[in-house]
Structures are given as structure tokens and as C-alpha cells.
A and B are shown apart, each in its own frame.
Chain A
Amino acid sequence: MFEGPVQRLIDELGRLPGIGQKTAQRLAFHLVTVDDADARRLGQAVLDMRDQVGFCSRCFNVAAAEECAICRDPRRDTSIVCVVERPQDIVVVERTQEFRGRYHVLGGALSPIHGVGPGQLHIDELKQRIPDEGITEIIAATNPTVEGDTTAMYLAREFKPAGVKVTRLASGLPVGGDLDYADELTLGRALVGRSEL
């Protein structure tokens, strides 16, 4: 449709998640018209990221070194580990400033439909970390989906017999909102998972 290289860029951008045909076109034409240096900086950032970033050998977070910045941080509590499905979930938990332990990225959740069993997740690596780092509590922060729930249950069954405490994030109400604005599903689940005062 457009000049070869422009169309190629549109096609590549269009393959990114959340980017449709129209947005891809807009981004591509933006890059055609911006300063040469700006466009090259974007290209270089992509190349650098591919060259320099890999996965943390301990927790499978993205890392620019052998281990990620969190695992290298000596102030982190090594006895508690928060287990998430994907690296980007770490950022969400980190933003709360409430968690001072380390993480472990499973790389997904149990889903036989997609051929994902315990062997396809980084569960053996987690097992290894327990004696190595003296882990006493695992927080299962997998997604509140059927697959995420099941994965959390798997972690409980796998690690509880070894004397590790396994906890699950509570699902509940958004803080600071009125009860009458809470959607029914969230409120229903919050009722089921209510806690004693």
C-alpha cells in the first residue's frame, strides 16, 4: 500500500500487542516525520534491549545482568517470595511499596489446553530456591483466573508439605470507593472471602 520500507514498519508495528492497523499507520508516519535522531534513538533502544537484557538466573525477572536488580538488592528479605505469572506483574506489586521480599516468575499458569503443565513453568527452580535461600513463605500472586487459581493451589500442595507457608492474595473491594459503586462480581467474591475483625 505504501512505499516498501514504510509498509514494512507498519506491518511490524501492527504485530505488537494492542496495536491495530490504524495505530500502526499513525505511529509509522509519525516516525517518518520526526527528527532523524529521535527515530534512531527508538531503533537503538530496541537493539540495546535485545542485546543487553535477558532473564534473571534466580527469579526469571527481566535483568540486564546475571541477576535482576531486586535479587541483587541486599536489603531484600530472602525468607519470603512473591510468585507471579509474568515479569510485568512484578512492577505492579513493586509499586505498592508494601513488599520487601524477592520474587519468582513462573512464566505463565497451568493450562493443559495450551500444553502448560508444572514442567513448563519455573516450579523446579522455585523448589531449588527454598533451601538455598531459606524461604519460609510463598505468596501466590497469580492472576484471579481459573488457571491462576489452580496454579496457586498447585503451589500450596507442592510446598506446604515442605513446611513452607503458602498464602494467596485476597480478592476484594477497591479501597476508597463506596460500596454501592462496587461491581457485583467483586462484591460477591469479597463476601465469600470475608475476614474476621
Chain B
Amino acid sequence: MVIRWVTLADIRSYRALEWHPDPTVNLLVGPNGAGKTNLMEAIGYLPSLRSFRGVPDDGLISYEADSGVIRAGLGWGDNGHLVEIEIFRNRSRRVQVDRHRLRRASDLGEVIRTVTFLPEDVDLIKRGPGRRRDLLDEVAVQLWPVSALDQSEFAKALRQRNAFLKQRERDEVTLGVWDARLAQSAGRVLSRRVRAMELLQPEMERAYRDISTSDIHVDIEYRAEWVDKTDPTIPAGVYEKALADALLGTRHRDMERRLTLVGPHRDDPVLLLDGHDSRVHGSQGEQRTYALAIRLATQRVITEFVGVPPVLLLDDVFSELDRDRAHALAELLPDTQTFISSARPEDVPVTGREWRSHDGSVT
């Protein structure tokens, strides 16, 4: 997978940019505020239709404009694709692939995949379980695009069930059918998470050992109140049944609290270091290594599973690392198109084509 060219119109600091990056390693340098992250963000938006900064769509549009356009030419020759995304301030975006309207956002993931390293990745370890659940769900979507539908149906069923619990009149039959629908999607969501974990675990361990040169054991322990056992061989229907039973068990509590208190949205995939919770027991350095290992593992799993290496984005990651980790990461970067941004190029022990971003242009 290669991004041959990108054009931006009224995206953040870029009024009109046409850029032909190198098919190997691209180093984006320049002082802070020069627009490096803006460009990385635009590339990261291509597969996910989401900003990795977590801002809503209209945050990507330049201040003076009402709409912005991201266009990109992907791949080579007959296998190439043209992706065009138009973002508006007050209506929904328009996405076209090869001049055809995209039917589902998740279809874009078939055309381009990216893995993004951010300084905030360490929050995967340091912060609450929500980020770790999102991580597994995001990997699942990259591996099995269909799971995007299960995830959005689960989220919708959960919102509906919670809305029902907040109503004044609540009948058992209606609650029962929302339980059933929620359990159906929950079973599918969990079974994908478990299979993603199965694929990630060995690669995470390998990447962790490569970076730290230590013999540490790395694992994910999936903590869920409503299932006895998670295993990639268990079919989704078993989890579905488990949640249906659990919902019946907590029904009284749910009715009282007017909230769904059990399900995949409350689970905690705990990241273990030699059997201990890395959130509690990991040192700063170990947590940072863990974060890198997760991203490297994701890249390897997708490459292995899909057969095409995803594009790598590393936004200001090297400045956060000590010398040894920076060198280890540089060594481990796979052979794929890579975008690295840094305000201090001397921190980046990687060779590649250097680009300077300033005044809304890249040269």
C-alpha cells in the first residue's frame, strides 16, 4: 500500500497543497505549529474518516472556509485507487472511491490501512479500560471490516436499551427484546475482540522483547463480569447466551440504576507484564515500550493477515523516547511507506526523504 500523492484544499493550515511523498520513508520536519501534524492527521483520516486528534470533522476545515477536501492517489497502475473526501461545516461529508460514492465508511478500510503511533499511546496503558477496548475494536475492523457493523449495532442497541431503562413505563417484554438484540451484537463484538487478542499477543511479546531486549512475558487478560472464559474457538453464540443470562441476572439492578451495567462496554482488557497489571506495576519506561509494542504488533498482524503492509504514521513519537528505545524502534520499523514528523530531526535515527513544512506548503 502506497500513497502516491495527496492534495489538500482548505484543510487546517493548508489552503491548497499538492504533495507527492516518497514511497519509502518521509521525514516531516519544521518547528512546532508549522503544520506537520495537520498533514499526518489528513493522511490518518483517509482510512478511518476520523481525526486521530479526536476532533469532530469540522475541526479539520480551515477557519475561513466552509468546506475542505482531501484527495489521495493510492497504489500503482491498475491497482490504484482515487480517494476523495469532502468535509462540510454543516452537513455530512461526501466520500468517493474511484469516483463512486462510498456505500459504507468501513469500505474505505479495504482500500487503505494505516497504523498510527502517537505520544498519547501510553494512555492505552495508563488510563481506563475504554481506550483498550477501542484498540481491540479498531484492530478487529482492520482485520475483518464486517465487524464495524457489529460494533455500531452494539452501540445502537446499548443506547436504545439505556433509553428504555430511563423511561417511566417499562414492560418486561420490551426489555426482553432489547436484551436479546443487545446480546446478539455483544456476542459478535466479543468474539472478534478475542480473536484480535489471539493474533496480537505473540506479536506484542515479540515486539516488546525486541525493543527492551528483556525476556519479559507480555499478555492481555480479558476481564469481563459476564463470561466465564474467553477463547478464540468459542462461537459468538455462546457469548450471546452468556450476556442474555447476565442481563437477566442484573435486570433488577439495571432497572434501579436505569443503566446497562454489564456487557462488552464495561469490560477491561488488562495489559499484563510478567503476569502483573502494567497500569499499576509498569514503570514509565515499561509503559512506553508497551505502547510501541502494541502499535508494532498491530502493524505486523495486519500485514500478515491482509498480505499488504499498512502505511505507518509516527507523529512526534521519537522526541518522547530515550536513545535506546528510539534506536530500537528505528531498527524495528517495517519496510513500508512511513511518515515521521518531528520538530527535532536530530532525535530521529531514521534515514528518509526530508520534507520541510511551512506556510501551508511542503518542500
Q: Are A and B part of the same complex?
A: yes
Give the residue among A115, A147, A150, A153 with the most B Cβ atoms within 10 A: A150
Chain B CB count within 10 A is highest, among A111, A117, A153, A157, for A153
A119 to B156, CA, bound (A): 21
Q: Separation in Å of the A122 CB from the closest CB of chain B?
A: 16
- Contact assessment for A185 and B149 in the assembled complex, using a CB-CB cutoff below 8 Å: yes
Decide yes or no: A146 and B160 within 8 Å by CB, A110-B174, A117-B167, A183-B103 being known contacts. yes
Given contacts A146-B153, A146-B156, A185-B104, contact A154 B177 (CB under 8 A): yes
With A146-B153, A146-B160 in contact, do A153 and B145 touch (Cβ < 8 Å)?
A: no
* CB 8 Å contact bits of B172-190 with A (1 = contact, 0 = none): 0110111011001100000
Q: Are B145 and A150 in contact (CB under 8 A)?
A: no
Picked from A113, A153, A183, A188, the residue with its CB within 8 Å of the CB of B160 is A113
Distance, CA A118 to CA B176, complexed state (A): 13
Beyond A117-B167, A146-B181, A185-B146, whether A154 also contacts B160 by CB under 8 A is no
Closest to A146 in B: B156
Contact B181 A153 (CB under 8 A): yes
B53 at interface (Cβ–Cβ under 8 A)?
no
* A158 proximal to B (CB < 8 A): yes
CB of A184 within 8 Å of the partner chain: yes
> Which residues of the partner chain A approach B176 to less than 8 Å between Cβ atoms?
157
Check if B157 sits within 8 Å of A146, measured CB to CB.
yes
| Closest residue on chain B to residue A147 by CB atoms | B160
When chains A and B are docked, how far (Å) is the Cα of A149 from the Cα of B178?
A: 10
Chain A residues near B184 (CB, 8 Å)? 149
Any A CB within 8 A of the CB of B163: yes
CB distance from B327 to the nearest CB of A (A): 41
Number of A-B contacts (CB under 8 A): 60
Shortest Cβ gap from A113 to chain B (Å): 4
Question: Which A residues touch B104, using CB under 8 A?
Answer: 183, 185
List, in ascending order, chain B residues with CB within 8 A of A5's CB. none
In the complex, are the beta carbons of A154 and B146 less than 8 A apart? no
Q: Are B157 and A184 in contact (CB under 8 A)?
A: no
Instruction: Tell me the residues in window 88-118 of chain A with beta carbons closer than 8 Å to chain B beta carbons.
Output: 110-113, 115, 117-118
> Is B323 an interface position by the 8 A CB rule?
no
Report Cα–Cα, A119/B160, bound state, in Å: 16
Q: Which of A113, A157, A184 contacts B146 (CB 8 A)?
A: A184
Q: Is the CB of A157 within 8 A of B160?
A: no
Measured between beta carbons, the chain B residues less than 8 angstroms from A147 are: 160
Given contacts A153-B180, A184-B145, contact A117 B169 (CB under 8 A): yes
- The answer to the question of B355 belonging to the interface, with a C-beta cut-off of 8 Å to chain A, is no
B171 at the interface (CB under 8 A from A): yes
- How long is the Cα–Cα vector from A119 to B163 in the complex, in angstroms? 16
CB neighbours (8 Å) of B181 from chain A are 146, 149-150, 153
Which of B103, B166, B167, B177 lies in contact with A150, CB distance below 8 A?
A: B177
Is the beta-carbon distance between B171 and A118 smaller than 8 angstroms?
yes
With most chain A CB atoms within 10 A of its CB, the pick from B164, B174, B180, B185 is B174
**B159 contacts the other chain (CB 8 A):** yes
With A115-B167, A146-B157 given, name 4 new contacts (CB 8 A).
A113-B160, A117-B169, A153-B177, A157-B173
29 examples of A-B residue contacts, CB within 8 angstroms: A110-B174, A111-B160, A112-B161, A112-B163, A112-B164, A112-B167, A112-B178, A113-B160, A113-B163, A117-B164, A117-B167, A117-B169, A118-B171, A118-B173, A146-B156, A146-B181, A147-B160, A149-B184, A150-B180, A153-B177, A154-B173, A154-B174, A154-B177, A157-B177, A183-B104, A183-B107, A184-B145, A185-B146, A188-B146
The 7 residue pairs across chains A and B that have the minimum distance between CB atoms: A112-B163, A112-B164, A153-B177, A188-B146, A113-B163, A146-B156, A150-B181
List chain A positions with a Cβ less than 8 A from chain B.
Answer: 110-113, 115, 117-119, 146-147, 149-151, 153-154, 157-158, 183-185, 188
